[in-house]
Structure 1
Amino acid sequence: MRSADQVLAVNNDLPIRTHQPVHSGKVRSVYWLTPEDSARLIQEKGYDVAPDAPLAIMVISDRISAFDCIWHSENGLNGVPGKGAALNAISNHWFGLFKQQGLADSHILDIPHPFVWIVQKAKPVMIEAICRQYITGSMWRAYSQGEREFCGIELPEGLEKDKALPELLITPSTKGILKGIPGVPEADDVNITRQNILENFAAFNFEAEQDVATYEQLLKEGFAVIQAALADIAQIFVDTKFEFGYVTDAAGKRKLIYMDEVGTPDSSRIWDKAAYERGEIIENSKEGFRQFLLNYFPDPDILLNKNRMPEREALARDNALPTEAFNALSQTYLAIAEKITGAPIQLSDNPKQEIIDILARDYGLID
């Protein structure tokens, strides 16, 4: 078991030169570089972006988020050992495969350290692009209670839990709270239909109506590449989330790209194929941890019911989970990352100091 100080739980306190407040999300922190540093790195490193493009340092952590809360363990363990390195390694692997196969670019320009991406600023499409090959999770819960329409798509009768859907489904939801769109509630993460998007494409940050079809094509292409590669290592790609955005390249061309992570155990469900064929579900993703939480607490409705968010936040704040749960999750992340990448995940004894040293020596970004 790795000690608490070998886990990178706090990632928003690095001495990276920045002119804006550090944006700290559930798992990653973003340091926007000064215009001078951005321009210098674009020139020094030859990044294929506009010369005045804003760049950022994105640092992943080992924090674990589930049901929109950050969880911690006994013994002061505020993250899952190896999780950050595993997630980045998996995303980097898929983005490399996308590039080999001629798919769209991503916002990642450089990978100085296993925990760090240098990214270009993208104009995000305000959609969580979720695609599903199997009916499970929240979709199955709703289907089993009689719902048949999801994001404007009519599902047939007779579907069975955890079985393949007749075709790959795109079930988008809002990214953030969007206001003034007819028929779309002003709330984060609400399901929307393709028609909602087409009728209000600019409100979702699409720059042209035909880009809606482009995002769907990129989603299907990305899913197919990862699905085929996972099949080669006896894993099933069940469902996943993609995010997209717009950037301008060095030649001034505007293009739609992949953003954030792709095909990771945090953003996807991945099942072991041999176990599935025996009638058993083995989750090689965060879904196993979600199931643990649902079983661990006596009232799982707190975790599933958005109206009970204050109670859910109190659960996460006030309960140090068993160390075994974090150890098991660590093994899941590291094992699937090593299967996908074909290489062991190197873990650092002091990731924070390593990051500082590399960004100072090779990028001149530490004050």
Structure 2
Amino acid sequence: MDAIKSTDLAFENATNVYKGKVRDVYFFDDKIGIVASDRISAFDVILERAIPYKGQVLNQIAEKFLKMTSDIVPNWFESAPHPNVHIGKKCDAFAVEMVIRGYLAGHAWREYRDGKRELCGVPLPEGLKENDKLPHPIITPSTKATEGHDEDISREEILKQGIVSEEDYKKLEEYTYALFAKGQEFANERGLILVDTKYEFGKFNDEIFLIDEVHTPDSSRYFYADGYQDRQDADEPQKQLSKEFVRQWLIENGFQGKDGQKQPFMSDEFVKSVSDRYIELFENITGEKFEKSSYQDIEEEIFKSIKNQLG
């Protein structure tokens, strides 16, 4: 199955290359060219098989929301010369991810289920069920690890350790709440619920910028709004569009990224099902038909698209 597992582009004037869990980042002075690969990660581990069209889905959803939210906070994005490529400003990233949750789902639910009633210093009320709406959105930051697992961290620890200044952190909180409200509003218009998401920020010329992706299925969790309350009342799983179903499949097959655990085999059928789910989310969240780009000579096309803009 065609997919972009990795790129190895030789730009003469690139100053550095960084390969993250999903993206390959090429640095050029004060600009970066980011290639959204088809790699997929879960539990901070890159899975063995790439997912066709996943990178294109992430790139195009992120572009839509970066443009939509630029009136809330400036962002790094400048252009998308290829369906898998973004070009923009090279920002100095803060070493935290601003995770915001409107519902008790995923990692937060697993912590709550295991008895915790405080997450990242934020108290949680008793008597909640999985996927219940929280009294109000909460910010539960995590460290941004260059290797290994991201870790939960409280606001107090971030300030105590000097990871972010208090002045900057207040702005990050303000931007996070405003971005989440915008994302929830747009999702509701599409018959979806934006359950939780994460935002990353950095600085460019000493000004805070939103960086990375926004409201994609890799960084966010969506439920279908129709039938949400009925499913909650009946203690049924929510119908969702997110990467959570991949995590659940891994858990069911004995893998959570822990030492000594082996990744389960991903069949062609499973890989296609994941690809189909990403495309489904694209079409639901954007209201647009997904147009599959060609994989023929794709690395050469990606190279040309970046070179034409960044030399």
TM-score (norm 1): 0.78
Q: C-alpha distance in 1, partners of 2:93/2:304?
A: 31
Q: Is the 8 A contact 2:101 2:137 kept in 1?
A: yes
Q: Output the aligned Cα RMSD.
A: 2.0
Q: Does 1:150 align with 2:119?
A: yes
Look up the match of 2:226. Answer: 274
SS of match in other structure, 2:245: helix
Question: Where does structure 1 lack aligned partners over 5 or more consecutive residues?
Answer: 36-53, 73-77, 179-186, 249-253
Change (3 A) 1:115 1:148: same
Give, as a single letter, the amino acid of the residue that structure 2 aligns with 1:269: R
Look up the match of 1:26. Answer: 21
Look up the match of 1:126. Answer: 95
Question: Which residue, 157, 161, 184 being the options, matches 1:196?
Answer: 157
Question: Which residue, 200, 215, 221 being the options, matches 2:172?
Answer: 215
Q: Is the 8 A contact 1:241 1:267 kept in 2?
A: yes
Measured after TM superposition, the shift of residue 275 of structure 1 is 4.2
Measured after TM superposition, the shift of residue 170 of structure 1 is 0.5
Q: Is the 8 A contact 2:83 2:293 kept in 1?
A: no
Larger-Rg structure: 1
Q: Is the 8 A contact 1:85 1:345 kept in 2?
A: no
Q: C-alpha distance in 1, partners of 2:53/2:230?
A: 30
**Which stretch of structure 1 is more off in the superposition, 215-224 or 103-112?**
103-112
Give, as a single letter, the amino acid of the residue that structure 1 aligns with 2:101: R
Question: Which residue, 192, 212, 215 being the options, matches 1:260?
Answer: 212
Q: C-alpha distance in 2, partners of 1:188/1:357?
A: 34
Measured after TM superposition, the shift of residue 19 of structure 1 is 4.1
Question: Which residue, 261, 285, 298 being the options, matches 1:340?
Answer: 285
Look up the match of 2:234. Answer: none
Question: Which residue, 139, 144, 153 being the options, matches 2:108?
Answer: 139
Within 5 Å, give how 1:1-367 maps onto structure 2: 3-4=1-2, 7-11=3-7, 13-33=8-28, 35=29, 54-72=30-48, 78-99=49-70, 102-176=71-145, 189-200=150-161, 203-204=162-163, 206=164, 208-248=165-205, 254-279=206-231, 280-295=237-252, 297=253, 300=254, 302-303=255-256, 308-309=258-259, 311-312=260-261, 315-316=262-263, 319-349=264-294, 350=296, 351-360=298-307, 362-363=308-309, 365=311
SS of match in other structure, 2:213: coil
Q: Is the 8 A contact 1:240 1:267 kept in 2?
A: yes
How many residues were matched structurally?
304
TM-score (norm 2): 0.91
Q: C-alpha distance in 1, partners of 2:279/2:146?
A: 34
**Which stretch of structure 1 is more off in the superposition, 156-165 or 350-359?**
350-359
1:178-232 deviations in whole A, cap 9, x for unaligned? 9xxxxxxxx85222222222334xx31x3x4222111001000110111110011
Change (3 A) 1:177 1:108: closer
Give, as a single letter, the amino acid of the residue that structure 2 aligns with 1:26: K
Question: Where does structure 2 lack aligned partners over 5 or more consecutive residues?
Answer: 232-236
1:68-126 deviations in whole A, cap 9, x for unaligned? 22223xxxxx3111101100111111111112xx2111111221111111122211111
Q: Is the 8 A contact 1:89 1:341 kept in 2?
A: no
Measured after TM superposition, the shift of residue 346 of structure 1 is 2.4
